[in-house]
A = this chain, B = another copy of it.
């Protein structure tokens, strides 16, 4: 029973901090904000949805996400078409260009991430990512 360890959050937070610091330059290079990237990711993984649902999915505020969507739309990375079935709602979808950018950015980000894991043994590195994926999938 190893009670003598730092809290999970105390260990994870600096890690996330580092990761974000690595991500920012990549995002900036592609003119995408963190929220923007978050939106692209969500839309690429699970296409259509309503804005409120999208906001909740990425843990953002319904009203604060609008500016982000405006930018993305103006940049041609997403489309916002009125739902013919319910004209209150806007169907959100990622454009081919948006998909392309999202995947490029992801590739670059994941390359950066390796830096953070370099101190780990290769086996541990794989295990860590695997367990993390499980944790993430089970939310």
Interface residues of A (CB under 8 A from B): 2-3, 5-20, 23, 38, 41, 59, 106-107, 109-110, 113, 116-117, 119-120, 124, 127-129, 131-136, 138-139
Contact = CB atoms under 8 A, between A and B. Distances in A.
Nearest to A117: B135
Total copies of this chain within the assembly = 2
B8 A129 contact: yes
Which secondary structure dominates chain A's binding surface? helix
The 8 closest A-B pairs by CB, nearest first: A11-B136, A119-B138, A9-B19, A128-B131, A8-B113, A12-B16, A11-B132, A124-B131
A56 B76 CA distance: 42
A16 B120 CA distance: 21
